[in-house]
Amino acid sequence: EDKVVQSPLSLVVHEGDTVTLNCSYEVTNFRSLLWYKQEKKAPTFLFMLTSSGIEKKSGRLSSILDKKELFSILNITATQTGDSAIYLCAVVVASGGSYIPTFGRGTSLIVHP
Q: Does 96 bind another protein (CB under 8 A)?
A: yes
Cβ-based neighbour number of residue 47 at 10 Å: 21
Q: Site for another protein (CB under 8 A): which residue of 62, 75, 84, 102?
A: 102
Smallest distance, Å, CB 16 to another protein?
28
Q: Does 32 bind another protein (CB under 8 A)?
A: yes
Q: Closer to another protein at the Cβ: 14 or 57? A: 57
Strands 85-95 and 71-76: unpaired
- Measure CA 60 to chain center: 14
Q: Site for another protein (CB under 8 A): which residue of 28, 42, 59, 82?
A: 42
Contact 33, 89 (CB under 8 A): yes
Q: How far apart are CA 75 and CA 63, in angstroms?
A: 6
Size of site (CB under 8 A) for another protein: 28
